[in-house]
Amino acid sequence: MTRPDPVESALTAARPKAIAALLRHFRDLDLAEEAFQEACLRALKTWPEKGAPRDPTAWLIFVGRNVAVDALRRSRRLASLPDEDQLSDLDDAEAAVVRQIDEADYRDDILRLLFVCCHPDLPAEHQVALALRVVSGLSVRQIARAFLVGESAMEQRITRAKGRIARSGVAFEAPSAIERTERLAAVAAMLYLLYNEGYTTAAEPEGRVLAEEAIRLIRLLIRLFPSEPEIMGLAAVMMLGHARAAARADADGRPIPLDAQDRSRWNRSLIAEGLALLDKALRHRRPGPYQIQAAIAALHARAPSVEATDWAEIELLYGALERFEPSPVVRLNRAVAVARCRGPAAALELIAPLESELGGYFYFHGTRGTFLMELGRSAEAQTAFGRAIALARNANEAAHIRSKLDQLMAEAAHPEK
């Protein structure tokens, strides 16, 4: 395993703070991003020889601001400069930037940047793509691969998202306490979408990149909002889920179900971090859907085996989650626990009304097929698995379901076994 380059690590860590501060000063997302990229290029030229500055983020903001001002002055015929008093306060000393931009500014800046990416006028997938490009710095190619679309299509998606934000007149002032709460919920939802995208494609390298980036950003939010139990709960969901990443696929990338995973391959340090965050969140006695999902994941993480898992408690937790967020997907997940507690027939009865809502959902047909298979209803199970294969998002998902079909055919050929 190669060790990360310290300069690149410093640039990655500084990116949200630096771009957010530049956005606050210049009110232009493209300009802020381009100025930061130029500052990074200069850092890559000078830091390896001279060493990183005492405060890399302040250095990048300082250089980026100068780059942006120069760019505006060169294009004064095409775009008006900010007011002179906005330019004249740019001291020539890096230390002044450190004094002017304290941690409170950073918190508002980063939240503002994330909120800009989560603008309500943008579709959810555009929010995630924009955040990955602007906040995380992933390349368009990486994002396109992760979302299984062409590079040019993703470039257009991000460009349209930036254009819509530019036309919307998003306010850049420091958010009030109420606005922070609202914006924080939007940011949390975006990060949850990002994590889920990575989790469902964890067998692919791009999937792991997305999940790890979601965890990096949620850790940043925890530092900014250390007493928000739902942010802790969301972080715990991500960590407890991603801790199983190494065991969730075989060498060929085919998914391994929970009951067949080698639990010795689970990341115990990540599990410990997630459990600690969940315990801290629960002490606030302000329950929410992320905390409930984390509690479910914690029961899996603490159990030495599938058989030793407290499935009855998991069913109760999914029931509580349904009361917070009624959803057919939540009920589908609850059905898995019901099957463990009361058998596949009860689980099938629970999900029977969901077909109209989840008819185009891969996991619905795969789960339903598994219940039918366990009941010995092989013909119906084959039909369900066939529909699942048709809806698979990638070859590995399809291969996993085909293995179940192969098992059904083998059982039909040798019924005496």
Integer CA distances (angstroms), 218 to 81, 235, 378, in order: 36, 6, 44
Residue 93 — very low, low, confident or very high, per pLDDT cuts 50/70/90?
A: very low
**Residues 93/166, Cβ–Cβ less than 8 Å:** no
- The Cβ of residue 227 has, within 10 Å, a number of other Cβ atoms equal to 10
CA distance 417 to 408: 12
Integer CA distances (angstroms), 356 to 271, 360, 361, 364, 387, in order: 37, 9, 10, 11, 14
Of 250 and 106, the structure prediction assigns the larger pLDDT to 250
**Torsional sign, CA 23, 25, 30, 36:** negative
**Three-point CA angle 298, 331, 262, nearest 5°:** 40
Residue 416 — very low, low, confident or very high, per pLDDT cuts 50/70/90?
A: low
| Helix/strand/coil for 255 | strand
How many Å is the Cα radius of gyration of the chain? 24
**Residues 311/337, Cβ–Cβ less than 8 Å:** yes
For 185-243, the pLDDT digits (tens) are: 888 888 998 898 888 776 676 778 888 989 988 998 898 889 999 999 999 999 999 99
Average pLDDT over residues 345-369: 95
**Residues 128/142, Cβ–Cβ less than 8 Å:** no
Residue 105 — very low, low, confident or very high, per pLDDT cuts 50/70/90?
A: low
For 249-260, the pLDDT digits (tens) are: 888 778 888 989
Average pLDDT over residues 125-144: 86
For 32-51, the pLDDT digits (tens) are: 999 999 999 999 999 988 88
